[in-house]
Amino acid sequence: MDRFVWANGLLEMNETLVIQQRGVRLYDGEDKAKLDVGVVLLSTHRLLWRDQKNHECCICIHLSQIIFFEEHAAGIGKSAKIVIHLHPAPENKEPGPYQHSKYSFIKLSFKEHGQIEFYRRLTEEMTQKRWENTPVLQPIPTGIGPKAGRTRAVGIVGIERKLEEKRKETDKNISEAFEDLSKLMEKAKEMVEVSKSIANKIKDKQGDITEDETIRFKSYLLSMGIANPVTRETHGSGTQYHIQLAKQLGDMLQAPLEERGGMMALTEVYCLVNRARGMELLSPEDLVNACKMFESLKLPLRLRVFDSGVMVVQLQSHSEEEMIASALDNVSDKGSLTAEEFAKLLGLSVLLAKERLLLAEKMGHLCRDDSVEGLRFYPNLF
């Protein structure tokens, strides 16, 4: 302990804090030091210890004073320790808490763990010896006692200042991000206005525009979003809102359903609708309530719930017999199929492919083999 000198706890220029750990007690050899539990700090140049209660009480030792060190594992009723063996104290040593010591080593007792990471970082610093490559610009300031004056705005204060600067920079970046988001929302509203304008022109000049041009315009509208999305602001709330929403969904979903074989999972419908609505996003609950009204409104769509609980939207003209026959034909041709293989053949999602196979099984046309390799369907020969 007589190698330690008083310090003010501040880091010098070119000195960097590597790691710190709370709940560390110092030992002068085998004896407990007269100091209380504190915080041990490892920098690129020094090993520092600071009292947890009295921050003005701080001592340090230069890393060049260390000969070697070793780790002692924790035991029953004993904390893990790092034993550091030191060179003899120099003759011109500055004042410290101990003037003389009969030991040539100290111990760091870790009451709150953290010794493994601290030992690793200490090993790295002793191997790299960065204090030789980046010497401090000025001598390390020390005082005549634990209340040495703080003459420089570095060290712990400097670290706090850097953290505050980083926080301000983060706040600035977040503000800029929200500004960009606001601009994006404004642009989205402009695009919706353009789509409304095109939709109105199609209605006004229906006779002057050819069928091909109408189809092309409608494809542009779909890529930009729904021209006049039904919202609670425009159609109120409750049943009337869901009725108007169901009618709009009936117009919008018919073409995508025909392209996908007449059936889509409700999750796919949700993504497709909200992408087209732009900023006027639809909640899952409103979507389900609107889909439930397809049949009562005599729209060409239906909401269907499979036995597994999977919900799909399908065309009214979609034939269940054709769906079962398709599943049976494909399984018979291939000998057997999994849901993934069937999905690739028909270009469906795996979820819908599995539901079709399960439906065919329910009707007695297929049977299954459930093994470690997964669920595989075969023609039912019984």
Residue labelled with tokens 């020969």:
381
φ, ψ (nearest 5 deg) of residue 205: -115, 40
- C-alpha–C-alpha distance, residues 363 and 27, integer Å: 81
Q: What is the pLDDT of residue 234?
A: 57
SS3 of 279, please? coil
Q: Six-digit token pair at 277?
A: 């609505």
Say what the alpha-carbon torsion angle 134, 140, 146, 150 is, to the nearest 10 degrees: -100
The answer to whether 318 and 263 are in contact (CB under 8 A) is yes
Q: What is the pLDDT of residue 52?
A: 83
Whole-prediction pTM value? 0.39
Domains and CATH numbers, the chain: 5-130 (2.30.29.30), 238-315 (1.10.10.10), 320-379 (1.10.10.10)
SS3 of 347, please? coil
Residue labelled with tokens 């870790």:
110
* Helix, strand, coil percent content, the chain, rounded in steps of 5: 45, 20, 35
- C-alpha–C-alpha distance, residues 148 and 234, integer Å: 72
CA triple 375-377-381, angle to 5 deg: 145
Say what the alpha-carbon torsion angle 174, 179, 181, 187 is, to the nearest 10 degrees: -170
Q: What is the pLDDT of residue 83?
A: 92
Pick out the chain residues at pLDDT < 50: 139-153, 224
Average per-residue pLDDT for the chain: 79
Q: What is the pLDDT of residue 350?
A: 86
**Which residues have C-beta within 8 Å of that of residue 361, sequence separation ≥ 6?**
367, 368, 377, 380
The answer to whether 27 and 109 are in contact (CB under 8 A) is yes
The answer to whether 366 and 377 are in contact (CB under 8 A) is yes
Classify residue 72 by burial, with Cβ atoms within 10 Å: 0-12, 13-18, 19+. middle
Q: How many other C-beta atoms can be found within 10 angstroms of the C-beta atom of residue 282?
A: 18
The answer to whether 43 and 62 are in contact (CB under 8 A) is no
Q: What is the pLDDT of residue 323?
A: 81
Radius of gyration of the chain measured on its C-alpha atoms:
38
